[in-house]
Amino acid sequence: MTLASALTALVNQAVDTAGFAGQAVPPVVPTNNPEHGDYQSNVALRLGRSLDEKIEAAGRIVASLPANDLIESCEVVKPGFINFRLSPVGMARTLEAAANSATNGVPQHGGTLVIDFSSPNIAKRFHVGHLRSTVIGDAIHRIYEACGWRVVADNHLGDWGTQFGKLIVAWNEWRDELAYEEDPIHEVQRLYQHFNQVADDEDAVIKAQCDEDALKEDVVAEMTRVAKELRLFPTWSDRAREETAKLQRGDPANIALWEKFVDASMREFDAIYARMGVEFDETLGESAYRNELQDLVDEWVAAGVAEESQGAIVIPFTKADGKGLSAPLLVRKRDGSALYGTTDLATIKHRMLSWAPDRIVYVVDSRQQGHFRQVFAAAKKLGYDRLSNGGEREPVHFEHAWFGTLRFADGAIASTRAGATANLVDVLDQAVGRARAVVEQKSDHLPEDEKAAIAEIVGVGTVKYFDLRQNPQSDITFDWDESLALNGNTAVYLMYAHARCRSILRNAERDVPVSGIVVSHALERELVLALNRLREVVWESAETYRPNLVADQLYTIASVLARFWNDCRVLGSDEEGSRLALVRATADSMRFGLGLLGIDAPERM
């Protein structure tokens, strides 16, 4: 039970006994200014029209509050705010209960969540661009589990698309076997980029030749006409499509190449996931569904949901299907091959039947909003949102938890030259290197292996926190110095707060349980409230898919703690027992909260 929920329950009762039964009661929230007390309820503002009525309603609610030892005092202010000041015993007791509970005092909600995140494309290096989905998705995974949900984390690899056709063409055309031996994924990526370059150049030539008016009529026909005229037929893109189709038909040579490319990428991905502490319950890439795709599309056609259009098969939409669905969802190309919309639908079917989830969440960047809108609408038309192994069920809730683009501050970094340095491995290495330098400077006395371990935790944590502390939906700018900074609002600040607590607990030389906390000093009060608030914020963070809410609260705790050290002596003070317990609760909370973000916290640093 958090303070907010306990207070909300009290207000609910009071609202009923005051004669407002049946009214919607907004939850009690923290005040934004300590002068107004610790928490406030704004119910009364909705219970009257005039100022007098609101004040009067507030007064009646206050008078109707059940007896309790949580509220020390409360007052009705201006337009009808009800401000609560909490009793020291009440808040201390609440914190102790939270700290000693198996769930860390986080309110528990039931449910099953399937979360689709990271999902890198095979044949591309793991780039900083993949950082966001991976880190945000992993945090959401952990946060939901903390709320008592069963979570299925699925890495939906991009391992079955047209990029393989491109790669196969490029491999057959331009491969450098020696380079592949040395660094497989590097060579694969080179081939992929080279192909795109050549195909783009060709496209540009064709477009330049096209008749604008004809283009509007029928793009494909016009492009084909020009390509033929230029004797480019088949174009590089045509050849890639052909190889893709062959692969999807099970051509042994292409399958063998495909396996080769997938294997090279997976080795790199696995290493990165291990280093970042990211785990999945499933790694079912697009290819996992390859054998069902053709039958599924036929089924959708038979059901009347999908239909032929311009030689392809699409799922069309009407206004009744929702807004922003101007184009149909393409599920089979003219040449018979499948697209990612097809695999996405097959994936939904599989997830519904395997896990019976309440929610399916996709942590994918904002540019795919249109795509997911289509996929979700198509899934509903197909009845996939209610699919079950037997019996009725509520429709699953689909969510595209999109995130903004990561950009580079410095144009030079985003350039080809520096493109290589934006590999995630390089970013992590750079971060760990910088952390190592600081460890050498500040904690040279520690043993070598511990210094290395600390640098790794700090470096990886810094990169993760840089992303997680920002609102996922904002576009974020990656700047080496700012993103890898080790002071200010960074992972280090949080880790340091934890390490200092641990240091004091070590110096105490005894086991310190979280009990006997007496809140007297103003900073003790602030700290206890901040620690309680962490529990309140977790579900809000889960519901809105915003790990930055947790990050924010951790920062608040750490900054209160930094002031606490100045004013409140722990060891040897009259309040030693209580303060040690508080320090213990803080250390545990920081470790717990950082854990929600997938960030480790060293004992000392």
According to CB under 7 A, which residues from 349 to 368 bind RNA?
A: 366-368
Omega before residue 34 within 30° of 0, cis: no
Count of C-beta atoms within a 10 Å radius of residue 125: 21
Residue with tokens 């008749």: 211
Q: Which stretch binds RNA (CB under 7 A): 110-118, 127-135, 425-433, 544-552?
A: 544-552
Residues 395-454 that bind RNA (CB under 7 A): 404-405, 409, 435, 438-439, 442-443, 454
**310 lines the binding site for RNA (CB under 7 A):** yes
51 binds RNA (CB under 7 A): yes
**Which residue in 19, 66, 311, 395 binds RNA (CB under 7 A)?**
311
**Residue number, 420 or 562, with CB nearest to RNA:** 562
- What's the token pair of residue 443? 């904690």
We find the least distance from the C-beta atom of residue 499 to RNA, in angstroms, to be 4
Residues 456-485 that bind RNA (CB under 7 A): 458, 469-471, 473-477, 479, 482, 485
CA 522 – CA 517 distance, rounded (Å): 14
Least gap, CB of 95 to RNA (angstroms) = 19
Instruction: Read off the tokens for 31.
Output: 């005040």
How far from chain centre, in Å, is Cα 448? 34
145 touches 139 (CB < 8 A): no
Q: Of 179-218, which residues contact RNA (CB under 7 A)?
A: none
C-alpha distances in Å from residue 328, one per residue of 51, 221, 337: 53, 20, 17
Strand partners, 86: 71
235 binds RNA (CB under 7 A): no
Residue type (1 letter), 491 = A
The interface region with RNA, picked from 5-13, 351-359, 414-422, 551-559 by CB under 7 A, is 551-559
In whole angstroms, give the CA distance from residue 97 to residue 4.
Answer: 15
Q: How far is the CB of 478 from RNA (least distance, A)?
A: 9
SS3 114: strand
Q: Which of residues 371-400 bind RNA (CB under 7 A)?
A: 371
Compute the least distance from the CB of residue 185 to RNA, in Å: 17
8 binds RNA (CB under 7 A): no
What is the rounded CA–CA span in Å between residue 18 and residue 48?
A: 13
Neighbours of 567 (CB within 10 A): 10
The smaller minimum CB distance to RNA, of residues 100 and 473, is found at: 473
Q: Give residues 244-273 in contact with RNA (rule: CB under 7 A).
A: 244
170-172-174 Cα angle (round to 5): 55
96 binds RNA (CB under 7 A): no
Torsion sign (Cα): 582, 587, 593, 595: negative
- Any contact of residue 522 with RNA (CB under 7 A)? no
Task: Determine, following the binding rule CB under 7 A, whether residue 100 of this chain makes contact with RNA.
Answer: no
Binds RNA by CB under 7 A, chosen from 10, 570, 590, 599: 570
Of the listed pieces 222-230, 352-360, 494-502, 584-592, which binds RNA according to CB under 7 A?
A: 494-502
Q: In this complex, which beta carbon is closest to RNA, that of residue 98 or of residue 558?
A: 558
For residue 323, the 8-state DSSP code is T
Residues 63-82 that bind RNA (CB under 7 A): 77-81
